[in-house]
Each structure stands twice: as structure tokens, then as C-alpha cells.
Amino acid sequence: MIAVCTECIERNFSKSNFLIKLYGLYYRNIVKNEVKLAGIRSCDRILCIGGGPIPSTAIEMARQTDACVHVIDMDGTAVVCARDVIKKLGLAHKITVEQARGEEVDISPYNVIHVALQVRPKEAVLRHIWNNCKLGARIIVRMPKKGLRSFYSNVTDAFIERNSDYVSFDSSGLCANTMDKTLLMVKA
Ligand SMILES: C[S@@+](CC[C@H](N)C(=O)[O-])C[C@H]1O[C@@H](n2cnc3c(N)ncnc32)[C@H](O)[C@@H]1O
């Protein structure tokens, strides 16, 4: 339900440069914390899974780090819309968008992989990334607030316990109303 609303808002906002900018403000500090948490630099190759019609996470990552970002979304209409937004913002040299599913995409070129809050099935996507990413890769997963967990696809406690040596959580500076922590996994 929340995921559908987000997509609907993004699709409508994507028609206006002003609304794209306004929408991006929500993500600015969230991404700032994620960039710090994962130590993202301009030389990193970033994959954003679940970019949506306005790929604000990718836009902020590219702007804040100057790294190249590849965005995927399983929804073809979101991809067409996102490409248009990226072109309008003059970021086509930094951000590419493609239709693909997070649980199937080739992970090997990337050393930073970002999983959006609305991605589903989240654990299958995370398992695919973890099994196929290279050593040293950092995986960032947005986690919903406890009271909102039933509205999203979630990573199970069993997965987190099984991989506890590689998992950490951060909740510093998060003022988003849908998430309360960020999961970071570092491949070793
Ligand atoms: C509405 S967006 C929100 C993301 C936000 N715009 C951002 O920049 O972080 C979430 C998108 O995730 C996509 N999505 C969900 N599960 C996915 C998966 N397994 N693989 C690829 N895309 C996925 C949906 O199609 C939707 O467009």
C-alpha cells in the first residue's frame, strides 16, 4: 500500500522540476548518512535497486559523491520516467537506468549496492547480492520502522543472525517517517 502510494506520488511529481527538487529534499540527509556509513567515494561503482519514477537516492548519491550510479527497477514505466528525470536534470553522464530485478541482476561490476525501502522480496534480493558480490562490497538496506513492517517486504531475523558477523545497523541522524535504521553488510 505504502509502496503503491510512493510510486504514484513519484509519477505525478516527475512532471515538474520544482516537485522533483522538493521530493529530493526528503532523501538528502538520508543519503548523506548512507554515504558516510558506507564510506562511498567517487571511485565507487554504485548500483541502486528500486529507483522508482524519481530515483532521488541515485541522484543524491551521484551529486554528493560524484560517483557513477546504475539504477534498476523492475517496472518498465518507472524506468522510462526515471530516464526522463535524469535527462532533465542533466545527469545522464553519471546515472544510467535499466529495467531489471534485484534478485537476478549481475552484481559483479559494483562495490556499493543500495536496496530501497520498497524493494520486494527483500530477503531474496539481499541473498542474491550477498552470494554474488565481490569482496569488500558494501550493501546498504533501508529498514522500515517497526510499526510499518507489515507494509513492506522484510529481511528476517534468521538471516540477520546467520550473517551477524557482517551486519551492522545505523540509526544516527535518521529523521525519515518510514524508516528507523539502515542495515550495512560488508562482504568479507
Ligand atoms: C517507488 S520507488 C522508491 C525509491 C525512491 N525513489 C528512491 O530513490 O530511493 C521503489 C521502486 O522499487 C521497485 N522495486 C521493488 N522491488 C524491486 C525488485 N525486486 N527489483 C527491482 N525493482 C524493484 C518498484 O518497482 C518501485 O518503482
pLDDT averaged over every residue in the chain: 94
Nearest residue (by CA) to ligand 1, atom 13, is 50
| 162: Cα within 13 Å, side-chain hemisphere | 8
The number of domains in the chain is: 1
- For position 1, what pLDDT does the model report? 62
Q: Report the separation in Å between the CA atom of 152 and the middle of ligand 1, taken as the mean of its atom positions.
A: 12
**CATH code assigned at 19:** 3.40.50.150
Q: Quick one: DSSP state of residue 144?
A: E
With a 6 Å cutoff on the Cβ, whether 6 touches ligand 1 is: yes
CB 184 within 8 A of CB 169: yes
> What is the layout of strands, in order, in the sheet containing 45-49?
95-99, 68-73, 45-49, 112-115, 138-144, 179-186, 167-170
Give the mean pLDDT of 51-63. 98
Give Cα 16 distance to the centre of its chain: 22
Nearest residue (by CA) to ligand 1, atom 2, is 52
With a 6 Å cutoff on the Cβ, whether 32 touches ligand 1 is: no
pLDDT range class, residue 156, cuts 50, 70, 90: very high
Q: Strand ranges (DSSP E) for the chain? A: 45-49, 68-73, 95-99, 112-115, 138-144, 167-170, 179-186
Q: Residue 28 has which C-alpha cell?
A: 538528502
CB 180 within 8 A of CB 146: yes
With a 6 Å cutoff on the Cβ, whether 14 touches ligand 1 is: no
pTM of the predicted structure, to 2 decimals: 0.95
pLDDT at 172 over 80: no
With a 6 Å cutoff on the Cβ, whether 60 touches ligand 1 is: no
Q: Which atom of ligand 1 is nearest to the CA of 103?
A: 19
With a 6 Å cutoff on the Cβ, whether 24 touches ligand 1 is: no
Instruction: Give the pLDDT confidence of 68-84 residue by residue, as tens digits.
Output: 999 999 999 999 999 99
- For position 89, what pLDDT does the model report? 97
Residues near 27 by beta carbon (within 8 Å), at least 6 away in sequence:
56, 57, 59, 60
Domain that holds residue 111: 2-186
